[in-house]
Amino acid sequence: MPRALSNTETEAFRTRICEVAAKLFVEEGQAAITMRRLAAELGCGTMTPYRYYSGRDDIITAIRARGMHSLAEALENALDTPGDGRARSSNVRDAYIDFARRHTATYRLMFEYPETNRDDPAYRKARERLWRWIAADTQAMIDEGSIDAEAPILGHQMWAALHGAVMLEIAGLLPEHLDAAALHSRTFSALMESARPKHDPST
């Protein structure tokens, strides 16, 4: 009779399944993510992945939820640093880009694959956590009076610009003298200028 896995071992195997699935998605497309293929890549029995996930959509949802939690944690830590809002926002940008570079397969699967199981409690919690960062990043600058804007809207503008820069870098489509951070810093400056308070005493 097989030995029962500990909680740590079970979680480690779930992580392996997610890592392999994300890699297959990036290298071969979503059709490559089948339970049979995952079992072959993991070197386990065909039915073994079903002990951990019910199918492909369940795995993809888990990858996205795990990735969003990890990314949100990195961004929260970056925002919780000394300095004014703009400096902290720069730290957040760097943490975001670092995550995308180190976990490219997961990052792409998080944002390139249509939402599935959007009502899954774990996924919904992860998405809400990430969305809170979008507003928190800009809210810090609003609270100190350096900009005048609606935090969620400006936050999404900055996120869209950052995600676009990251995806261009991943695809190798940026000019040689630019990387995601350099490109986004220019867009960020323009957004900050547009949100400058009308009666900014520094002007």
Q: Does residue 185 belong to any structural domain of this protein?
A: yes
pLDDT per residue over 112-136, tens digit each?
888 777 889 999 999 999 999 888 9
Q: Is the domain of 74 the same as that of 46?
A: no
- pTM here is 0.89
Would you say residue 39 has pLDDT above 50?
Answer: yes
On whether residue 93 sits in a domain, the answer given is yes
Residues 118 and 180 in one domain: yes
Higher-confidence position of 163 and 113: 163
Phi, psi of 72 (to 5 degrees): -60, -40
Determine how many CB atoms are found less than 10 A away from the CB of residue 174.
15
**Angstrom distance (rounded) from CA 93 to CA 101:** 12
52 pLDDT band, cuts 50/70/90, is: very high
Cα–Cα distance between 60 and 109 in angstroms, integer?
Answer: 8
| Higher local confidence (pLDDT), 193 or 4 | 193
Burial of residue 145, with CB atoms counted within 10 A of its CB: 0-12 exposed, 13-18 middle, 19 or more buried = exposed
Residue 1: pLDDT over 50: no
Q: Output the pLDDT for position 6.
A: 85
Domain count for the chain: 2
- Distance in angstroms (rounded) separating the CA atoms of residues 108 and 112: 6
